[in-house]
Amino acid sequence: MHVTSKDFDEKARAAIADDQLQMGLFVFGKIFPLMRDAKAAELPEFEGLRDSARDIKTNVLENLGTYLDAFEARAEEAGGRIHWARTAEEANSIVERLCEEVGAKDIIKSKSMVTEELELNDHLIDKGYSVVETDLGEYIIQLRNEKPFHIVGPALHLNAGQVSDTFYEAHKKHGRTEKVEDKVKLVEEARIVLRERFKNADVGITGANFLVAETGQIVLVTNEGNADLTATLPKRHIVVTGIEKIVPTLDDLSVFLRILARSATGQDTSNYVSLYSGPRRARDADGPEQFDIVLVDNGRTDMLGTPVEEMLRCIRCGACLNSCPVFSTVGGQTYGSVYSGPMGAVWTPALASVSSAAKLPNASSFCGKCEEVCPVRIPLPSMMRHWREKEFEAHLTPSGQRWGLGMWAWLGKHPSLYRAATNLAGIGLRLISKGRSGKRLATWLPFIGQGWTQSRDLAVPQEPTFLSQYKEGRRR
Ligand code: SF4
């Protein structure tokens, strides 16, 4: 997985200065959380469903091998073929071989985060295949040569004008010479161009939202219907999915289906929920002649038994991104990883490395909102803290920060010096503070405090301090 998170600070500054992006982020950061909260409130058992979902996934992770074996057996009984991939390279080679087997030239894809993680498109295009994303958002960012902005809405950052410019340039070769600006017409144009790709495709590649061990089925949850065309029209359907997507039974699946769309987009359910097992049978009207499932590890089993194991419960709903104050200020492409926001701050160091993604676990205010909304109750802040500790142990944190933290720890072990230092700091802050609307604020700090006051004011501690009140025995 190619990660450019080292540039997080520069990209964040650019994102904050981008007025158009800020306007889009403001609307998105407000509307999605409100829709999620409203849908959750309509369902009295929502909190109970979250507990059940957490428990089901915990059981799955404790018995992952057993459920994967059961899934493999059922999927093969239905005529599918299972392929195991330990690494991204193995997964990409397997898909390439499967495409070769059918003499494929044209490949269509439906949105899949794991294929983004594997950089499968680049691999196949390098080998000479034509690969087209068919989810509208993914299609747009593919034309723009960008990475997904958001795990659910990959092109959420773009407005109609930008999409219009992109289509105008890209669709000339398809005979579309008129510039279209109306949103409905833009969708129509994408549909017309993509229809030809659907008709000509030799292979369709999808991900899977869930794998059902009991039945060997893969489950696709979408809003556009493109995944179903991708799965059924070409002669070969290849499913590429992470091994953690397994659920034991159809009953368990129903729990996840009730929380996924509500958490992701504030819908009761998504427009399409499809379960696939095996290739077309004699009585079927349509469907692929071959059905292959590539089960990808790529670092997932290394997470088992570690402090970040619970991240494997993630169902990629994006609720943590939508409610994160950092994500909704800087946007997804700032993170330099296909997985962004709070979930990306845990996934990326786990799958890439702490050194390549050290900035991400620090891109958090630790407000805890991500954990509050996560439908499978993943303790995201604790896991970000884990990566911060690893970063500190590996001496990846800046020397000023290490020095400051060491000093703070030393002071913490010497209470009288700690009190003296905090009293002095309080006096200093009060001296340089100004009254604004009745509030005392420090607007300029020297040394490492500069970083804080360059972009915001610091509230000055009020008097008397808690410790002095405690000493005097005044309890409120
Ligand atoms: S961590 Fe939780 S909230 Fe975030 S995408 Fe995964 S399941 Fe959704």
Question: Confidence class of residue 162 from pLDDT cuts 50, 70 and 90?
Answer: very high
Atom of ligand 1 minimally distant from the CA of 315: 7
pLDDT of residue 438: 67
**Tokens 């819908």 correspond to what residue?**
267
| Model confidence band, residue 475 (pLDDT cutoffs 50, 70, 90) | low
**CA dist., res. 288 & res. 234, Å (int):** 6
Residue 432 has pLDDT above 90, yes or no: no
453 closest CA partner among 469, 433, 426, 470: 433
Name the band, by pLDDT with cuts 50, 70 and 90, for residue 347: very high
- What one-letter code names the amino acid at 9? D
User: How far does residue 148's CA lie from ligand 1's centre (Å)?
Assistant: 16
pLDDT tens, residue by residue, 391-424: 999 998 888 888 888 899 999 999 999 989 988 8
Are 278 and 73 within 8 A, CB to CB?
no
Distance between start and end Cα atoms, the chain: 54
Q: What is the dihedral of CA 113, 116, 120, 126, to 10 degrees?
A: 150
Assign 3-state DSSP to the chain and report helix, strand, coil percentages, each to 5.
55, 10, 35
Q: Is the CB of 375 under 6 A from ligand 1?
A: yes
Amino acid at 439: K
Give residue 450's pLDDT: 81
Q: Which two tokens stand for residue 221?
A: 């949850």
Calpha distance 154→333 (Å, rounded): 10
Burial of 295 (0-12, 13-18, 19+ CB in 10 A): buried
Ligand 1 within 6 A of CB of 320 = yes
pTM: 0.91
For ligand 1, mutation pick of 316, 347, 369 (most atoms within 8 Å of CB): 316
Nearest CA owner, ligand 1 atom 2? 374
